[in-house]
Amino acid sequence: MPRTGKAIKDDSLLAAALEGLELQRRRIEEQIQEVRLLLGKGTGRRGRPPAVAGHTNGPRRMSAAARRRIGAAQKRRWAEYRKSNGRAE
């Protein structure tokens, strides 16, 4: 889009342009879909299907024992780091 140096202040003009571009995009996407179907490529989507709306596995939970193991390992790593850099606490 060329820059004229003037800012477009009319929001309705921008909104109309956006609406027109979205309409063109929908038409183009429909035409692409038709061509894919003619070529036998289906939707063009491969791999894992999208997640079903509202269906999640929930947050992952960690056991207390696992948290302790991770904490102990982190403390060992920090102790080794401080030891190798000559800092003792």
Q: Do residues 69 and 62 make contact, with C-beta atoms less than 8 angstroms apart?
A: no
Domain assignment of residue 16, yes or no:
yes
Domain assignment of residue 1, yes or no:
no
Q: Which residue has the tokens 């036998």?
A: 40
Domain assignment of residue 57, yes or no:
no
Domain assignment of residue 50, yes or no:
no
Domain interval for residue 68: 11-44+63-84
Domain assignment of residue 70, yes or no:
yes
Q: Which residue has the tokens 């992952």?
A: 60
More confident residue, 16 or 54: 16
- Side-chain-side CA neighbours of 23 within 13 Å: the count stands at 6
pLDDT band at residue 6 under the 50/70/90 scheme:
low
Domain assignment of residue 54, yes or no:
no
Q: Does the predicted model carry a pTM greater than 0.75?
A: no
Residue 45 confidence (pLDDT): 65
Please determine, for residue 43, whether its predicted confidence score (pLDDT) is greater than 90.
no
pLDDT band at residue 23 under the 50/70/90 scheme:
very high
Average pLDDT, the chain: 82
Number of domain units in the chain: 1
